[in-house]
Amino acid sequence: MADKTHCLGCGHPLDRKATHCPRCGVAQPVRPIGGLVALILLLGGLCIVTLVAILRN
């Protein structure tokens, strides 16, 4: 059930990865996982660099 969601326009059940509803054609928001992972790695790296810079002084 975790891989299913509903259309924001008509409520028709559809796959979580669907970009458009097959019934009404409304575009569905899809968030790519790769972008989230990259953001987490970037923020983690910036925190580590900041801590190293602070502790060196």
Each of the 57 residues of the chain gets a pLDDT tens digit; together they read 568 888 989 999 998 888 899 999 999 887 666 778 889 999 999 999 999 999 997
Report how far residue 49's alpha carbon sits from residue 41's, in angstroms, rounded to the nearest whole number. Answer: 12
What predicted TM-score, i.e. pTM, was given to this entire model? Answer: 0.47
pLDDT of residue 12: 92
One-character DSSP codes across the chain: -TTEEE-TTT--EEETT-SB-TTT--B-----HHHHHHHHHHHHHHHHHHHHHHHH-
